[in-house]
Chains A and B, each alone.
Chain A
Amino acid sequence: MKDHVELRSGAYADSVTLLQVSRAVQASPGVVAAQVAMATGLNLEVLEGMGFEVPASSPNDMVVALRLDDDADLAAALGVVDAALAPVRQAAGDTTVAPPRTTASALRRTGVDALALVSVPGASATVEAMDALEAGRDVMVFSDNVPLAEEVALKQYAASRGALVMGPDCGTAVVDGVGLGFANAVRPGRIGIVAASGTGCQQLLALLHHAGASADGVGVRHALGVGGRDLSAAVGGLATREALRRLDADPDVDLVVVVSKPPAEEVAEALTRDTQALGTPVELGLLGRGQRDLSAVAEAVLLRLGHEAPEWPVHGADNTGPATGPLLRGLFVGGTLCDESMLLATEALGPIRSNIPLSDDLALGDELMVDDHTMVDFGDDALTQGRAHPMIDPTLRNEQLARAAADPATGVILLDLVLGHGAEPDPAALLAPAIAAARRDRPVPVVVSLVGTDLDPQGLDAQRDALVAAGAEVHLSNASATRRAVQLIEGAAR
């Protein structure tokens, strides 16, 4: 065994690209372990954990760390690293005019209609977003880990310019049919969505798209994300108001839906009042105790447009036997889906422990699993610092899936899987083997809410079939998946 560790100062690639590079080199012959990453504190810990010794470095250095059976394979492995990094370099260098280095510079080169999509690390996101707002353009901030005070400052400035800030931590937007971030490909139509929740928005897109196949005129024109904190007391719905104003002014929008993670009470009240003053009807889908779930909101929208709600599809119900223990384990990539499931399950099963708990006393520690019902959001800021979102890198969740399956108290495992632009090209290929492995020793029921459409690049049917073949029961509606999981746990209790 031989370790090769080199620092490349001045080299930079984003964490997603580096993840792909690491994967490519891990598959290279003779490579036992490999990690190519920027030398951030977190990545250095990972490298240390892998047993690599990294020399003194700064976070702006790229670390190439390889462990080989045989020195002879080193050159080939480094060749794989360079080849995997090369497309990035080509993209930057194949024109005579160097690419822009800031959002401001890029906006100077584009037309007046340009909008900006920011996904740099959170510590730098505000600066790039301000470039767009100063130019009077709208901006979507996908980046998470942006301080609350900066979000408020951005949105206050945007309000003074009549610009819209979608985010920070905004996973999803559809602007005139163009999907930004993680967005599902949907049939166009006359519905406008304002979403203080990325995966909540995606759930709504998926359900409305499914229903639209048999209901004429049901389709989405815009889905404007506003970031999960927009309806908090501190932000006060600044972006939600601007998004509502835009949709209200759009003659091609007949109905507006607002979806949100549980909002601050006073903000929700003010918003409810404000929406009544708009010319366009508004359906409010604000999650919370005693409020409707997302599927019920979709059903209400359909009803308002004169259609009956369909039965939300379920596949692989035959796979599911009785619960194998007393506890429900929810492992989510979507924060709002996790919220929704907790709200539903709490009604039937009592308190759920979580890293994004419904109340502070239910907080989970770093172990993420206790002798109680648990639901974990792997997309939460604390679990994505220095690594890619679980929709791209499912490693952490798959590890936890194995641990949950091994716990004899686990009765049912509840998962989500989200398709669409920006997500893994074939996420079922990574999740299905993990589900099959989890069910190898004892048949733990695995219920999955698969959020996607048949227009998504991954293909809804193929993804669903792979999960069903691995032993999962697959729902399109997260609420229906959650009710099914709860029902199984209640069955075990009786």
Chain B
Amino acid sequence: MSQPTVVTVGADMFADAVAGQAVDVERVDWRPPMPGTESDLATVATDARRPEANRRAVEAMLGVTAHLVDVAPASEVLGLEKGQFLHAGPPITWDRASGPLRGALMGGAALEGLVDDPEDAVALFESGSSVTLEPCHHRSAVGPMAGVVTPSMWMWVLEDRATGRRTYCSLNEGLGKVLRYGAYSPEVLTRLRWMGDVLGPLLQAAVRGTDEATDVTGILTQMLQMGDEAHNRNRAGTLMLLRDLSPAMVASLETGGFAGKDVADALRFVGGNDHFFLNLAMPACKLALDAGRDVPGSTMVVAMARNGTDFGIQVSGTGDEWFTGPAQVAEGLFLGDYGPDDANPDIGDSAITETAGIGGFAMATAPAIVRLVGGSVPDALATTRRMHEITLAENPRWSVPVLEFQGTPTGIDVTKVCRTGILPQINTGMAGAVAGVGQVGAGLVTPPAEIFPKALAALAARVPT
């Protein structure tokens, strides 16, 4: 034993008494936990399985490298059949679905030819016959905003080569009037058809024709050092993807019989859509987090997702159970004349990025967009530091230069959220509340606080006695 530094938590008087003896003191700014959680917190804290379980969950998650191995229609890779619709967030039924989710489902129904006019799909979904809704997460997939996936949509296929596990995500349509924000006008459907007819097959040829599969996790490492936080800013990542895929896209002019105009259109479309890489960042995050699932005793959050009505989380130690509460409306900046009243509550599976420690958690590395989401640079640094208070680990691959290359805060711990009252910070786009409107803004949002005590109670109930 030698003279120690003393960490004090509790009465300041004792910290003062130690400091008065010329000993270094680190004071915890302790505050009472979320109301009513003390007993569950103690139960989970003393669960003998927990420390090792969390270490295993974190290690499994950090051990995953996501490679881009294919692009293919959802009907092939997910076995999705006509009338089956995937959507973002926890499970929901049509009667509780919000405007943007309804709009995207209506557009999806028209895309699949179930109806001619998207408006006619309302009756179809109300009747519920011959259509089913299911969360993307239940099919190893993730979808941004409404997250609607139909059989004909082309999907990115990512694989963890160590285990062969795969995750999937649709191709990004760009910003503005797009299906994922609930828009279903003719231009939206026209673009989706072009993506199915041209972009998807071309990207498939490119991915299959690229010798070395693209390391998506590696691109994330680089883009975090180039000003992207991989949720609301994906500019560097998109360009790096293009760098990897464009030789094979051009080569496909000969090998695949694609037309020069198609290749040029595709390169222009990808290069002109700063969010294109988001749909690779998301399944890469899911692939990592899925490796941390189902560890008994682990308090790590493995999914945060919203369907526009409910915000839900899943936790490693509680299997597939969703803990849900009302989705909140983001605070931030609005496009054009739109205001807070026009915005729909939070929607999308894209909070998988924050769950994996990037997006809002890596805000410090993306100062260029802090104003877009209504903050300042000091706010951004403070946000990333604050997220370290509720996470289990730092990601050694994903580091933030401005914070002395500290790893991103990784593995949200349900107990730490309940103890500190600090909620995960999510960067997000805002969809219009009315079906068909599209994007109205972007901003910051947090989950509803009550879902964390719910998850904690379920963890406590599973502690062996």
Interface residues of A (CB under 8 A from B): 12, 14-17, 38, 58-60, 88, 91-92, 96-111, 113-121, 123-124, 126-128, 130, 132, 134, 142-143, 147, 150, 153-154, 156-157, 175-181, 222, 246, 250, 392, 421-422, 457
Q: Identify the closest chain A residue to B394 (Cβ).
A: A108
Given contacts A118-B10, A119-B14, A246-B1, 10 further A-B contacts (CB under 8 A): A92-B29, A102-B28, A116-B6, A116-B9, A119-B11, A128-B9, A128-B28, A154-B46, A178-B3, A422-B14
Contact A124–B7 (Cβ < 8 Å):
no
The answer to whether B31 and A157 have CB atoms under 8 Å apart is no
Q: Are A114 and B28 in contact (CB under 8 A)?
A: no
Q: Does B87 sit at the interface, judged by CB under 8 A?
A: no
Partner of A143 from the list B10, B15, B26 (CB cut-off 8 Å) is: B10
Provide the bound-state CA to CA distance between A96 and B21, in Å. 26
Where the two chains meet, the residues of B that have a C-beta atom closer than 8 Å to any C-beta of A are 1-15, 17-18, 20-21, 23-24, 26-33, 35, 38-39, 41-42, 45-46, 48, 51, 378, 382, 385-386, 388-389, 415-416, 419-420, 422
Q: Which of B33, B46, B389, B422 has the most CB of A within 10 A?
A: B46
Choose among B6, B23, B39 the residue with the greatest number of A CB atoms under 10 Å from its CB.
B6
Least CB distance, B465 to chain A, in whole angstroms: 10
Q: Give Cα A427 to B157, complex, Å.
A: 72
- Say how far B80's CB is from chain A's closest CB, in angstroms: 43
Contact A128 B30 (CB under 8 A): yes
Interface pairs A-B: 3 shortest CB-CB: A119-B10, A153-B46, A123-B38
- Picked from B8, B21, B46, B48, the residue with its CB within 8 Å of the CB of A178 is B21
| Cβ–Cβ < 8 Å partners of B26 in chain A | 100, 106, 109-110, 114
Residues of chain A contacted by B8 (CB below 8 angstroms): 116-117, 119
- Structural contact, B46 and A157, CB atoms closer than 8 A: yes
Chain B residue at minimum C-beta to C-beta distance from A88: B12
> Mind listing 13 A-B residue pairs with CB under 8 Å?
A106-B9, A108-B388, A110-B7, A110-B26, A113-B4, A114-B6, A116-B6, A119-B10, A120-B10, A127-B415, A154-B46, A179-B21, A180-B18
- Docked complex Cα distance between A58 and B45 (Å): 24
Contacts of B382 in A (CB 8 A): 98
Cβ-defined contact, B7 with A181, below 8 A: no
* A115/B4 in contact, CB under 8 A: yes
- Distance between Cα atoms of A241 and B224 in the complex (Å): 50
Which listed residue, A12, A134, A142, A156, touches B51 by the CB 8 Å rule?
A134
A250 CB → nearest B CB, Å: 7
Q: With A and B bound together, what is the CA distance between A457 and B389 in angstroms?
A: 36
Q: Which of A117, A123, A142, A181 contacts B39 (CB 8 A)?
A: A123
| CB contact between A59 and one of B1, B32, B51 (< 8 Å): that residue | B32
Q: Which residues of A contact B24 (CB under 8 A)?
A: 110
Main secondary structure on B side of the interface with A:
mixed
Complex CA–CA separation, A107 to B39 (angstroms): 24
Q: State whether B46 touches A150 (Cβ < 8 A).
A: yes
B419 CB contacts on chain A under 8 angstroms: 101-102, 124, 127
B385 contacts A98, CB within 8 Å? yes
Q: Is the CB of A105 within 8 A of B14?
A: no
Please pick, from B9, B378, B388, B415, the residue contacting A119 in the complex, using a CB distance under 8 A. B9
Q: A residues within 8 A CB of B420?
A: 101-102
Indicate whether A16 sits within 8 Å of B30 (C-beta atoms), given known contacts A101-B420, A105-B389, A127-B419: no
Given contacts A143-B10, A392-B13, A457-B20, is CB(A120)–CB(B30) below 8 Å? yes
Q: How far is the CB of B413 from chain A (nearest CB, A)?
A: 9
Cβ B38 vs Cβ A177 within 8 A = no
State the CA gap A121–B18 with chains docked (Å): 20
Which one of A58, A124, A246 has the greatest number of beta carbons of chain B within 10 Å? A124
Residues of B within 8 A of A92 (CB): 29
The answer to whether B9 touches A16, judged by C-beta atoms less than 8 angstroms apart, is no
Q: Complex Cα distance A14/B31, Å?
A: 9
Q: For residue B1, which residues in chain A have a CB less than 8 angstroms away from its CB?
A: 175-176, 222, 246, 250
Give bound CA distance, A88 to B1, whole Å. 32
How far is A266 from B3 in the complex, measured between Cα atoms in Å? 35
Choose among A101, A123, A181 the residue that contacts B28 (Cβ–Cβ < 8 A).
A101
Contact A421 B416 (CB under 8 A): no
A14 near B4: Cβ-Cβ < 8 Å: no
A58 close to B11 (CB less than 8 A): no
Q: Name which residue of chain A comes closest to B38, CB basis.
A: A123
Whole-angstrom distance between the alpha carbons of A98 and B28 in the complex? 10
With a CB–CB cut-off of 8 A, which chain B residues contact A38? 32
Contact present for A117 and B32 (CB under 8 Å):
no
Determine the distance from Cα of A142 to Cα of B12 in the docked complex, in whole angstroms: 13
**A222–B1 alpha-carbon span in the complex (Å):** 9
Instruction: Report A138 CB to chain B, min CB distance, Å.
Output: 8
Question: In the assembled complex, which residues on chain B have CB atoms less than 8 Å from the CB atom of A113?
Answer: 2-5
Closest to B12 in A: A17
Residues of A within 8 A of B48 (CB): 153, 156-157
CB <8 Å contact, B5 and A114: yes
Contact of A176 among B2, B7, B14, B32 (CB under 8 A): B2
Min CB gap B99→A, angstroms = 34
A134 nearest CB neighbor, chain B only:
B51
A101 x B29 contact (CB < 8 A): yes
Question: Are B28 and A91 in contact, with the CB atoms below 8 A?
Answer: no
Q: Least Cβ distance of B377 to chain A in Å?
A: 12
